[in-house]
Structure 1
Amino acid sequence: MQDGKELLALFPHADRKRWVLWTPQGYYQASAGAEDLIGWHLNNGADKTPDFYSVSRFREHFYRPDVIARVLDTLDVDEALQLANQARGRKTITRDLRTILPPTVMILEPKSGTKWDTKRLVLIYHASSTTGPILNTEARINGRPATVLSEARMRGNEQEFVQKIEIEIPPEDAEVTLLAKNKHGWSEPAAFFVNWAGAKDWYKPELYILAIGVSQYGNPERNLQYAAKDASDFIEAFKAQKGGLYKNITIRPLLNDAASRDAILDGLDWLERQTTNRDVAMVFLSGHGITGPGGEYRFLPPDVDEVRLKRTSVRASDFLEFLGKIAGKAVLFFDTCHSGDVFGGTRTDSQADVDKFANQLAAAESGVIVFTSSSGKQFSKEDAQWENGAFTEALLEGIRGMADFSKDWYISIAELEEYLGDRVKELTDGAQTPKTAKPRTVENLRIARIRR
């Protein structure tokens, strides 16, 4: 401390919900929804536009909450990194940022905000990569996968090209984003705002719900009081939305023994196949979650086997694979941080990293709206007074009308986020802080209508 060197920087957002901590070397920790608050600014010479990459583009290299925690103990970043590497059993390979850059994408035509009155949108864009060939490009509408009608290269090669793409758009104002991927990951999204000037469409979406709740585990010491009931109560709350905001509601409940690993994967597959680009998919997830040996979030089914954890748990990448491909709007509510010692102290740093999982799902290439029950290393509370977890108690109140701050008889994502933040802290005396992670390109979706 006496040499005056910077150890950590903190950026708390003005919304008092999101924050980022980082070291001068770039190692960082971010709350859910906060990864896009800071990033890397790379100059390309005096005559060229600089590039900006949010820290989420380099999550696998620099997201290190284990390092941040040890910096506060050691007051030395190098020592903290060494201790963190020892704890996780592998050494960090330091790379020059310019050798691991993802591609960049720029939309050339038409101008964003152009009035549009047909469902076929044609964009011309430029994509380039300085660190290897571009492997894939993707179009999204309001954060969800777009239907591509045609795509053709106008000029260029595998590392830099100009391309024309034609996609189907909904008859409404919307934000279209284009992304490109190389071996290092996905680009920052290039955005085009559709200013819809055609006829209005009053289509009423269908809602598909996968509700997973596990209270009873093979090992009774892991049992929870209300996780399965939380899922059941969530189902009942949304059944009342049929005929209101949603034309129809289809529900697949997976409670206790029914929530095996295979059943959960089948449920996610069902959700991806059933949900069209006009519909809404919701997942409610309640039970135990941990951070596995490789640093990946894992949800624990009732028959999880600690010795065979890879085979008997559901990985973050499983959720990402299915939820990221759902054609319609996707929302995840998850409450899986009930204990930091699920396996009786036999694993280190095993408490679920909900912030990382939420940020992975909400990234531009996945596009999922995520509500978490807690943040950081907080535990989720249950209480017989509510007969629910605190998060679910507040969620049910909000859906039933308490979150209607605008008094328009609808509950939006932003309203629910505001209500959950205040109400859960009130119920738990500040011990639990729910977070929301949303793609930058998602609109303020209405998710419930209040019955008059």
Structure 2
Amino acid sequence: MQVVMKHSTVLVFALVALIATNGTMAQERVSLHLEEGKSGAVWDLVLGPDGKTLYSCGRDSTAKSWDLTTGESIRMFKCDKHTLVTSLALDYTGNWLALGDMKGVLSVWNARSGVRYYTAPAHEQYITDVAISADGRMIATAGRDDHIRLWNTDDGRPLHSITAKMLWVQAVAFSPDGATLAAVGQDGRIVLWNTADGTQKMELGRHSRFGRALLFSGDGKYLFSSGADSRVKVWDLQTQALFRELELEGGYAHGMDLNRREDLLLVGRMNGLMEVWDWRRRIVKQKLSGASYGTMQAIFDDNDERILSAHTSGAVKLWRHEDGALLLDMVGFSDGQWLSFTPDGYYDCSAFGDRYVQWQRGQELFPLNRYRELYQRPAIIEDVLRGSYSPAGEIETILDPPTADLIAPRDGQLFAFGSEALEIVIEVEARDRQRIERIMLLRNGRALSQEQILSSQVLARSDTLLRMRFRVAVLPGRNAIEAVAVNAARVRSAAQRADITVETGEQLNPSLYILTVGADKYAPAFPDLQFATVDAQAIADEFVRQEGGIYTRVYTRTLTDRQATREKIFAALKEFEGMGTQDMLLLFFSGHGVRQRDGKGRSRYYYLPAGTTKNNISKSGMAWDDFAGEIARLRAGRVILLLDACHSGDVSGGASNEKVASSLAGQVGIVFTSSSGNEFSYEDRSWGHGAFTRALLDGLRGKADFTGNKIVDWSELQLYVSTAVREMTKGSQNPMVPRLEQFANFDLVRIQ
């Protein structure tokens, strides 16, 4: 898979396909079209001490952490201002993450939670490099203002400021004992400094052009330096003399790393190539040439089995060391979305991570998300990372998605009728001669089952065309109707949507059915929570007050701790089977969630009832896809799921709120999650609830009534809660709704 830059905002990932066209073979590429600022060059990489977490930073104003067991982006560390994050460093505990940016600001973060500890105006200009001493006590920053500065890690207190006299300082590195700091500059000089007092020890040597990178050997005997003179120099620190010199052919070394035995040197070069050297014998042992754009950094994994590299294309690449095979590309975006994909086209992504990617054939572009059923395989990404799956070359063909036309209703139509059904007419064409297998209908963001469709009729059918008429019930007020065609190869058409308004001559107030679930008691298998049960009860109590207002009746069922079992959750849903198509179902879940493979190797997401152990998750946990199947049988006109089930990264194992929400969206209806990506959901005694529930309650009680009409509608609540939670947690938790644009607005509660 190749990465190519088109102009300033388009990346092309060459999941290259060969297609026979009029007897010739034409190349196809998967192109990643980005809005300005969505992503950018990856500038630096560092591996966490657990060997399972990777940190990257770059041009999109962020740093990101990646789970190397799942390929997921775990956390995003976003700077206050738009800037290039030029360098990052991690302490030996894996807790302290230091970032340097183009504005000259040093920021230090909790690497696990994403909470920022402090910032410091470190340099007048661009920070070129950041390093943390082996004992974690000191941070060094280098800048284009020709200064080196040392900082106390714990509180950001400045320790020493050194004027380097190098024009500007390009790179710094601590010796393993922390007593010496090496620096290389724009003038090519390599200088050693005492960290205790900031005095110069000696000038070790120089490159004939500007220096680029520095690396100490683990025993502290050697210092490796690279420069724009296409040389890597190895300095013997005992004799203070040049020990070896490696000459690179075309392009200088922008990043370097040693394997565990320290007999091999990995060099990442600005021409996109990577080389593995036997540096003592000055022999190139291996070349990795699959990257077409600059390699900013390259590192070995903990076992020396894989190589990880950062590229100006915006990708982090994973290679097999043994044969140099490319295994995986990981791309992160500035809005927190991400995408990981193999050379043979399989991928996993965040809720919207595949919206930026398109297959390209000639001038034709096909969004990757239309191929989701075919190629989104989280289990394959996990197998690649565990070494049990090797990508089988490149994709040989792609299929044209079907096209669809929603003939009726039309967008913006107004209907005036009582209980009559809405007629939907859709025409679908199969462009690749793959027979149309089904047409999916969604009403207010929720897929309609066959039982919920009042009638269907085939109006015309051929090998390539299908025209059908459906009749479905709709709600008074605003409704969003969508239709999607799926062919035999499981490739989808673009969704066709119409927003309509239904006016009735009589008041048809719906009933509200509520199921709230919360679990606090998980010890000793998992950490206990504080407010999940309180939150579940509070949400139910708040909506009960709406009976006789917007809702004719309000029916509630609350299950907490030991009562919140899979069986009782499903039994509670069966109690709601009497609801009608005009009614609304509101669901609230708070607790822990996990991801686990089942016996068939599929990744499944589970909600954990209280008392669940790590050995009985598949038996005691509630699989969310099973839950969605139960919801599909209910006739509710609208369904809202409020999801607050990602309280601990040590528990979730990839089952973030967002991943669960994206897997349910379209099946359940509106899914409003307490956090985005792999963010944690926070609780605090000062709030009396989790942050998400606190904001929900405040919004429902009137703070979300932005129009002052004594009604809180869905759009107002979503906006208020998202903003309030972000402010309460200082940006560490960001509620989100997958596919928010698919839902028509509606009145939710009347303020009493």
What TM-score bracket applies, with the shorter chain setting the length? 0.7 to 0.9
User: CA offsets, 1:79-122, max 9 Å, x none?
Assistant: xx7x8713385455677496466644222356544554443443
Deviation at 1:360, TM superposition (A): 2.4
Question: Do the aligned residues in 2 keep the contact of 1:21 with 1:30 (CA within 8 Å)?
Answer: yes
Indicate the SS of the match to 1:246: coil
* Residue 649 of structure 2 is aligned to residue 332 of structure 1: no
Deviation at 1:60, TM superposition (A): 6.7
In 2, distance between residues paired with 1:35 and 1:231? 31
Q: Mapping of 1:367-406 within 5 angstroms? A: 368-406=669-707
User: CA offsets, 1:325-373, max 9 Å, x none?
Assistant: 543211111111111223xxxxxx814222222122223xx25112211
In 1, distance between residues paired with 2:664 and 2:581? 18
TM-score (norm 1): 0.79
Deviation at 1:287, TM superposition (A): 0.8
In 1, distance between residues paired with 2:617 and 2:731? 33
* Residue 458 of structure 2 is aligned to residue 153 of structure 1: yes
In 1, distance between residues paired with 2:703 and 2:481? 33
2:589 aligned residue (285, 310, 313): 285
Residues 410 and 329 of structure 1: is their aligned pair in 2 closer, same or farther, counting only changes over 3 Å?
Answer: same
Residues 441 and 424 of structure 1: is their aligned pair in 2 closer, same or farther, counting only changes over 3 Å?
Answer: closer
Residue equivalent to 2:337? 20
Amino acid at match of 1:284: F
* Residue 566 of structure 2 is aligned to residue 261 of structure 1: yes
2:729 aligned residue (428, 445, 448): 428
Structure with the larger helix share:
1
Question: Do the aligned residues in 2 keep the contact of 1:100 with 1:131 (CA within 8 Å)?
Answer: no
Residues 242 and 30 of structure 1: is their aligned pair in 2 closer, same or farther, counting only changes over 3 Å?
Answer: farther
* Residue 348 of structure 2 is aligned to residue 40 of structure 1: no
Larger CA deviation: 254-263 vs 308-317: 308-317
Residue equivalent to 1:354? 657
Deviation at 1:253, TM superposition (A): 0.9
2:442 aligned residue (133, 140, 143): 140
Deviation at 1:201, TM superposition (A): 4.0
Larger CA deviation: 405-414 vs 230-239: 405-414
1:61 aligned residue (361, 375, 378): 375
1:408 aligned residue (702, 709, 721): 709
1:298 aligned residue (600, 606, 610): 606
Structure with the larger strand share:
2
User: CA offsets, 1:30-89, max 9 Å, x none?
Assistant: 655x4585353666x98xxx675462751673476x99xxxxxxxxxxxxx7x8713385
In 1, distance between residues paired with 2:462 and 2:592? 48
Relative contact order higher in (CA < 8 Å, ≥ 6 apart): 1
Amino acid at match of 2:482: T
Question: Do the aligned residues in 2 keep the contact of 1:116 with 1:195 (CA within 8 Å)?
Answer: yes
Question: Do the aligned residues in 2 keep the contact of 1:172 with 1:201 (CA within 8 Å)?
Answer: no
Residue equivalent to 1:202? 507
Residues 92 and 61 of structure 1: is their aligned pair in 2 closer, same or farther, counting only changes over 3 Å?
Answer: farther
Question: Do the aligned residues in 2 keep the contact of 1:323 with 1:368 (CA within 8 Å)?
Answer: no
Residue equivalent to 2:624? 316
User: CA offsets, 1:379-416, max 9 Å, x none?
Assistant: 22222222211211111111111111221212222222
Deviation at 1:443, TM superposition (A): 0.8
Question: Do the aligned residues in 2 keep the contact of 1:260 with 1:303 (CA within 8 Å)?
Answer: no
In 1, distance between residues paired with 2:581 and 2:392? 41
Amino acid at match of 1:138: M
Indicate the SS of the match to 1:431: coil
Residue equivalent to 1:15? none
Q: How many residues align?
A: 416
In 1, distance between residues paired with 2:369 and 2:516? 32
Question: Do the aligned residues in 1 keep the contact of 2:521 with 2:611 (CA within 8 Å)?
Answer: no
In 1, distance between residues paired with 2:688 and 2:559? 19
Residue equivalent to 1:227? 532
In 1, distance between residues paired with 2:634 and 2:353? 23
Question: Do the aligned residues in 1 keep the contact of 2:340 with 2:348 (CA within 8 Å)?
Answer: no
Indicate the SS of the match to 2:663: helix
Question: Do the aligned residues in 2 keep the contact of 1:287 with 1:336 (CA within 8 Å)?
Answer: yes
Indicate the SS of the match to 1:138: strand
Question: Do the aligned residues in 2 keep the contact of 1:142 with 1:176 (CA within 8 Å)?
Answer: yes
Deviation at 1:286, TM superposition (A): 0.7
* Residue 457 of structure 2 is aligned to residue 162 of structure 1: no
Deviation at 1:279, TM superposition (A): 0.9
Amino acid at match of 2:386: A
Amino acid at match of 1:292: Q
Indicate the SS of the match to 1:415: helix
Residues 112 and 383 of structure 1: is their aligned pair in 2 closer, same or farther, counting only changes over 3 Å?
Answer: closer
Question: Do the aligned residues in 2 keep the contact of 1:290 with 1:299 (CA within 8 Å)?
Answer: yes
Residues 242 and 151 of structure 1: is their aligned pair in 2 closer, same or farther, counting only changes over 3 Å?
Answer: same
Indicate the SS of the match to 1:176: strand
Residues 379 and 100 of structure 1: is their aligned pair in 2 closer, same or farther, counting only changes over 3 Å?
Answer: farther
Residues 352 and 164 of structure 1: is their aligned pair in 2 closer, same or farther, counting only changes over 3 Å?
Answer: closer
Residue equivalent to 1:77? none
Indicate the SS of the match to 1:426: helix
Indicate the SS of the match to 1:332: strand
Larger CA deviation: 288-297 vs 241-250: 288-297
Q: From the CA coordinates, give the structure whose radius of gyration is larger.
A: 2
Question: Do the aligned residues in 2 keep the contact of 1:172 with 1:200 (CA within 8 Å)?
Answer: no
In 1, distance between residues paired with 2:478 and 2:390? 48
Residue equivalent to 1:73? none
Query: How much identity, in percent, do the aligned residues show?
Result: 27
Residues 370 and 218 of structure 1: is their aligned pair in 2 closer, same or farther, counting only changes over 3 Å?
Answer: same
Deviation at 1:202, TM superposition (A): 2.2
Residues 88 and 168 of structure 1: is their aligned pair in 2 closer, same or farther, counting only changes over 3 Å?
Answer: farther
Larger CA deviation: 83-92 vs 126-135: 83-92
Question: Do the aligned residues in 2 keep the contact of 1:171 with 1:200 (CA within 8 Å)?
Answer: no
Residue equivalent to 1:341? 650
Deviation at 1:187, TM superposition (A): 4.0
User: CA offsets, 1:259-281, max 9 Å, x none?
Assistant: 1121122234444x243211111
RMSD: 3.4
Indicate the SS of the match to 2:647: coil
Indicate the SS of the match to 1:139: strand
1:211 aligned residue (480, 496, 516): 516
Question: Do the aligned residues in 2 keep the contact of 1:218 with 1:304 (CA within 8 Å)?
Answer: no
1:189 aligned residue (495, 506, 512): 495
In 2, distance between residues paired with 1:354 and 1:93? 32
Structure 1 unpaired stretches of 5+: 13-17, 68-80, 343-348
Larger CA deviation: 245-254 vs 120-129: 120-129
Question: Do the aligned residues in 2 keep the contact of 1:35 with 1:54 (CA within 8 Å)?
Answer: no
